[in-house]
Each structure stands twice: as structure tokens, then as C-alpha cells.
């Protein structure tokens, strides 16, 4: 390989790596300040781009951008599917239907109409833009969803929307791409093309994903029982299944993105253990890919939304941001949510990288007339980061006490937790030395009877807590993802016995 051709790649990779390292080190400060991490990354990207130091400059034709953006969208869809809790969907089925049906689709339709009327786009181009800008970004919502003072109803509605609306909107983008790039109509010779497209998009893509997911779960189960497998490698195994599903669908001219979602859904249904194992690792991997893409876009491309802005574009951007609150407000009125839950759900629907990734699909495919959509989408995303990110800062500090500290619990009414262990015993000293971090219930009760200070911590994950519907009485709720920060916030005494359970 020519060293001269390699230098730009290495320079870009090194700079992006440095930005991600810096943003990771500052993540705690950023989280406490309430400033969206995305805004920080975009700012750092701008400093490194042509308007700043001039160290990074990428165009829409950049192979690096195409690979990273494609992998990011595939991973987002895969992890979204893995995070789907069928029990929660059954429990909140009506809410899910209203959010994804009238809420999402009506938003896409209204934004498309605004694009057609204000920007004079063709119907297929307007449909692509409408679907892309109806997507709610999970990365920008993450800070809000982690707040303990967020009402349970609002949390559930936003999780459902950000986790599922991309798979509703993606087919709209794919169909509109065919319409925008093809001169065939719905009849005559075009009917054959429509049948072929329907087969490729809605059968081959999801079918390949389901097949890869089933084969992957069956193979893993066989290996588990026969020779065993390290749990950390199960996470890597899931990542391999996501890429395998994408590649399998694309090799048959299906949609790799729909295949990635179908594979994740299949794993979520048939192998809960693998789903839970991959969830944290997969979300971190997907977020890393998203941050990488934000840095690349922030160096120059996303700012085209500002440089290319016109009067009609600004009006459209404002309308696009106001459409979702109006559509969702009308859609959610039958749910009778309390006022605060309704306001938070309606307002916080930020546009972010998921919108940019959807609008980049026709650009990467070389669809004529698709490039002009990108700066329009960039303008809306920048305004959304500013407005929705700023709104999150105005919510104030998250000072709601954790469960067990007088602040109540989130979610639906729960039944008190009681141990179901039929026979408990105190471990012999030699076994206690072998497992110094574990303690039996009888031993804990002995310590309490002896007057030792014992604090019982409910350290179940949010997913386990929501699925169980049970709350532990006389305990302190401790978020395991932020154990050190939670212990400091709760001012847990250092001299006390801290007994955590996570079953």
C-alpha cells in the first residue's frame, strides 16, 4: 500500500481516537452538567475540521464514512431489537401501538407534506426526508432515560419509540429510494419490479435475519451443553451474528438492516441469557460506532446544514421539530397519562444520528436527487441538539431518592419481594474464604441479630427490576451501572456490611 495514501487514513483514525478518549474521560463531567455528549463531539469535530485546524475533511463519498455509518445503523437496529422486552410490550401494548402507529407514522406523513410544500421536493424525496426526521434518536435520549426522576410512563413510552420506530420508518425510506431512482410506475413492467422489491425487502431480509438468529442460538446452546463457552465471548458471538445476518441478507439482495433487526428480535425471544449478556456490551459497541460517526460528520459535513440554510429551509426545520409533539399529543390523549409524563414524552423526541443515517442510505446508494436532502436533515438535527439538549439541562438536577429511601419506586405497583430459598445454610469458613464476596441469607440474619450494621442493597439491573414486578422491602435501591456514584450519593457508611442481591 502506498504510504502517502495511508497517511490521511491514519491521521483521521488517530484524531477520532483522541476525540473519543477525551470525550470518555470527560463523560462524568458532561453527565453532571447536563450538556449532551453529542454536542461536545460535534464541537470537537468542528475544531478538527476545515473551519478549525483543518486536520480532518471528509465528503459524502468517503469510504470510511460509508462503512462506519452502515455498521452504526446495523448495530443500532440489532441492539434495539435485543432490548425489546416482549413482556413489557404485552403489558403496554396499547401505548406501543399509539406511539409507533399514529405517533410515528403521522409525524413522518406531516413532515413529508411540509417538505413537499415548503421545499418543493418530489414525493419520494419528501417521503425519505419525512421518515428520517420522524426517527427519535436513542443516543440523545440516553441521558434523559437514565434519570431516576423520570416518570415510569414517560420512560416506557420513550423507550418504545426510540427502540422500535426505526424499523417502522426504514421500509418507508427503502421504498421511497426505489421510487426516487426508478422511472417505472406501479403498472406494466414496473409491477414486476415492485414484486421483486417486496420480495427482497420484506421477505429475504427479515428471513435471513431470522435464519441466522435461529441457527446462532441453536449452535450456541449445543456448544454450551457440550463443551461450555466463556460468557464474555457470548457477547462477541452476538456481535458476529449481527454482522452475519447483515451480510447474508445483502448477498441475496435483501435489506441487511432489516435482517439485523430480525436477528436481534429472534435472539431476544429464544435466548434471554444471550440477550442479557450482550445488552451492555452491545449498547457500548453501538454507542462507540455512533460517536465515531458523529465525530466524522462533525468535522465538516453536518455543518452544511448551516452553510446551505435558506429561509424556506429554516421554516421547514422549525415545522419538522414541532410536528412530532403535535402528532404525539393527539395520539397519546386516549392513554390518560399524567400531565408531566405526557409533556416529557411529547417534547423529548430529539433528531440525531439515526435521522442522518437514514437519509444517508440513498446517498450511499447513489440515488439521484438524494444529496440535496442531507443538508436539510443536518439543519434539523443541529437545531434539535440545541433545543432538546438545552431543554434537558433546564430539567434541573436529578435528586429523586432511590427506592427504599423514602422516594418510592418507579413503574407499576409492585408486590413485596420475599426469598423463595427453601433451605439456607451458613458456609463453612474454608468455603467463605473461597467465595469471600458471597453471603448466605442465614449468615446475614446472624449478623443482624448480633447488632452488626447491615445494609441490604437491591442491585438488580433495570431490566431485571422491570421484569420481576417485585420490590425488595427494607432495602436500598442501588443502580449497578453507577454503583460508586450511587454509594457516594446515598452516603452509605463505610463501616457497615453491604449485602447486595441481583437475582
DSSP assignment of 467-503: HH-EE-TT-EE--GGGHHHHHHHHT--TTSEEEEE--
pTM of the model as a whole: 0.73
Q: Please report which confidence band the pLDDT of residue 193 belongs to, taking 50, 70 and 90 as the band edges.
A: low
Mean pLDDT of the chain: 75
Q: Which of the residue ranges 45-49, 256-260, 363-367 would you say has the lowest mean pLDDT?
A: 45-49
Checking if the pLDDT of 383 tops 60, the result is yes
Whether 108 contacts 172, CB under 8 Å: yes
Residue 238: what pLDDT?
80
Cell numbers 432538546: residue: 388
Share of the chain above pLDDT 70, in %: 69
Residue 93 has what pLDDT?
Answer: 74
Rounded Cα distance, 27 and 14, in Å: 20
CA 300/CA 22 separation, integer angstroms: 20
In this predicted model, what pLDDT tens digit does every residue of 4-16 receive, in sequence order?
444 666 766 776 6
pLDDT in tens, 143-166: 777 777 788 778 888 887 877 788
The length of the chain is 503
Residue 462: pLDDT band (50, 70, 90) is low
The DSSP call for residue 334 is G
Contact criterion met (CB below 8 Å) for 319 and 114: yes
pLDDT higher than threshold 60 for residue 184: no
Backbone angles phi and psi of 475, in degrees to 5 = -130, 170
CA-nearest of 448, 452, 469, 450 to 460 is 469
Q: Write down the pLDDT at residue 275.
A: 55
- Are β-strands 470-471 and 415-416 bridged in parallel, bridged antiparallel, or unpaired? parallel
161-177 burial code (b ≥16 CB/10 A, e <16): bbbbbbbbbbbbbbbbb
What angle, rounded to 10 degrees, do the helices at 106-118 and 311-332 form?
160
For the segment 15-57, what is each residue's pLDDT rounded down to a tens digit? 667 766 776 787 777 767 666 677 777 777 777 777 767 767 7
Rounded mean pLDDT, 433-459: 68
Name residue, grid cell 468535522. 299
Beta strands of 14-112 (E only): which ranges?
Answer: none
pLDDT band at 424 (very low <50, low <70, confident <90, very high): very low
Residue 166 grid coordinates: 426505526
The rounded distance, in Å, linking the Cα atoms of 75 and 78 is 5
SS3 at position 421: coil
80: which 3 cell numbers?
A: 434495539
- Is residue 112's pLDDT more than 90? yes
Q: What is the pLDDT of residue 408?
A: 37
Cell 438524494 locates to 370
The structural domains of the chain, ordered by start, are 8-191+271-393 (1.20.1530.20), 415-501 (no CATH)
Q: What pLDDT is stored for residue 425 in this prediction?
A: 40
Give residue 52's Cα distance to chain centre.
30
Q: CA-CA distance, 371 to 92, in Å (whole number)?
A: 39
Of 50 and 419, the one with more pLDDT: 50
Helix (H, G, I), strand (E, B) or coil at 173: helix
pLDDT at 423: 35
Q: Which span out of 125-129, 215-219, 334-338, 475-479 was modeled with the highest average pLDDT?
A: 125-129
Residue 371 has pLDDT above 80, yes or no: yes
Phi first, then psi, for residue 36 (nearest 5°) are: -60, 130
Q: Tell me which residue of 109, 179, 126 sits closest to 365, measured CA to CA.
A: 179
Amino acid at each position: 500500500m502506498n504510504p502517502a495514501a495511508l497517511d490521511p487514513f491514519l491521521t483521521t483514525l488517530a484524531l477520532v481516537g483522541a476525540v473519543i478518549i477525551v470525550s470518555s474521560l470527560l463523560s462524568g463531567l458532561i453527565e453532571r452538567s447536563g450538556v449532551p455528549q453529542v454536542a461536545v463531539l460535534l464541537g470537537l469535530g468542528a475544531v478538527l475540521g476545515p473551519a478549525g485546524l483543518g486536520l480532518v475533511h471528509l465528503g459524502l463519498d468517503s469510504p470510511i464514512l460509508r462503512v462506519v455509518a452502515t455498521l452504526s445503523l446495523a448495530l443500532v437496529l440489532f441492539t434495539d431489537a435485543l432490548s425489546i422486552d416482549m413482556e413489557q410490550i404485552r403489558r403496554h401494548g396499547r401505548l406501543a401501538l399509539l406511539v409507533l402507529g399514529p405517533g410515528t407514522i403521522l409525524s413522518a406523513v406531516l413532515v413529508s407534506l411540509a417538505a413537499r410544500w415548503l421545499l418543493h421536493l418530489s414525493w419520494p424525496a419528501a417521503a425519505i426526508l419525512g421518515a428520517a426526521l420522524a426517527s427519535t434518536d436513542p443516543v440523545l435520549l440516553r441521558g434523559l432515560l437514565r434519570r431516576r426522576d423520570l416518570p415510569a410512563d414517560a420512560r416506557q413510552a420513550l423507550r418504545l419509540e426510540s427502540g422500535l420506530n426505526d424499523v417502522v420508518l426504514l421500509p418507508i425510506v427503502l421504498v421511497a429510494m426505489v421510487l426516487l431512482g426508478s422511472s417505472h410506475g406501479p403498472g406494466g413492467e414496473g409491477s414486476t419490479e415492485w414484486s421483486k422489491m417486496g420480495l427482497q425487502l420484506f421477505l429475504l431480509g427479515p428471513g435471513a435475519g431470522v435464519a441466522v438468529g435461529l441457527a446462532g442460538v441453536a449452535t450456541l446452546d449445543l456448544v454450551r451443553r457440550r463443551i461450555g463457552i466463556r460468557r464474555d465471548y457470548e457477547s462477541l458471538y452476538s456481535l458476529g451474528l449481527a454482522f452475519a445476518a447483515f451480510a447474508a441478507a445483502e448477498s441475496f439482495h435483501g435489506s441487511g438492516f432489516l435482517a439485523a433487526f430480525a436477528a436481534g428480535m429472534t435472539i431476544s425471544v429464544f435466548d434471554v441469557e444471550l440477550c442479557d449478556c450482550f445488552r451492555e456490551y452491545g449498547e457500548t459497541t453501538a454507542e462507540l460506532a455512533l460517536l465515531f460517526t458523529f465525530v466524522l460528520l462533525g468535522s465538516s459535513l453536518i455543518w452544511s446544514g448551516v452553510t446551505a440554510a435558506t429561509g424556506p429551509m429554516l421554516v421547514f426545520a422549525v415545522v419538522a421539530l414541532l410536528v412530532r409533539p403535535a402528532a404525539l399529543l393527539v395520539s397519546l390523549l386516549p392513554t390518560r397519562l399524567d400531565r408531566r409524563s405526557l409533556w416529557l414524552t411529547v417534547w423529548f423526541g430529539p433528531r440525531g444520528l439515526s435521522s442522518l443515517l437514514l437519509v444517508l442510505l440513498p446517498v450511499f446508494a447513489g440515488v439521484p436527487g438524494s444529496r440535496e436532502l442531507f443538508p436539510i436533515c443536518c439543519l434539523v438535527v443541529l437545531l434539535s441538539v440545541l433545543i432538546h439538549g438545552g431543554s434537558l439541562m433546564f430539567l434541573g438536577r436529578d435528586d429523586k431518592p432511590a427506592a427504599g429511601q423514602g422516594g418510592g419506586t418507579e413503574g407499576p405497583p409492585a408486590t413485596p419481594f420475599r426469598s423463595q430459598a427453601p433451605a439456607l445454610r451458613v458456609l463453612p469458613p474454608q468455603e467463605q474464604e473461597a467465595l469471600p464476596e458471597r453471603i448466605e441469607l442465614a449468615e446475614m440474619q446472624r449478623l443482624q441479630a448480633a447488632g452488626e450494621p447491615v445494609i441490604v442493597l437491591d442491585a438488580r439491573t433495570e431490566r431485571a427490576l422491570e421484569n420481576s414486578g417485585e420490590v425488595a422491602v427494607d432495602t436500598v435501591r442501588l443502580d449497578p451501572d453507577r454503583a460508586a456514584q450511587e454509594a457516594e450519593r446515598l452516603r452509605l457508611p463505610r463501616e457497615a456490611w453491604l449485602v447486595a442481591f441481583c437475582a
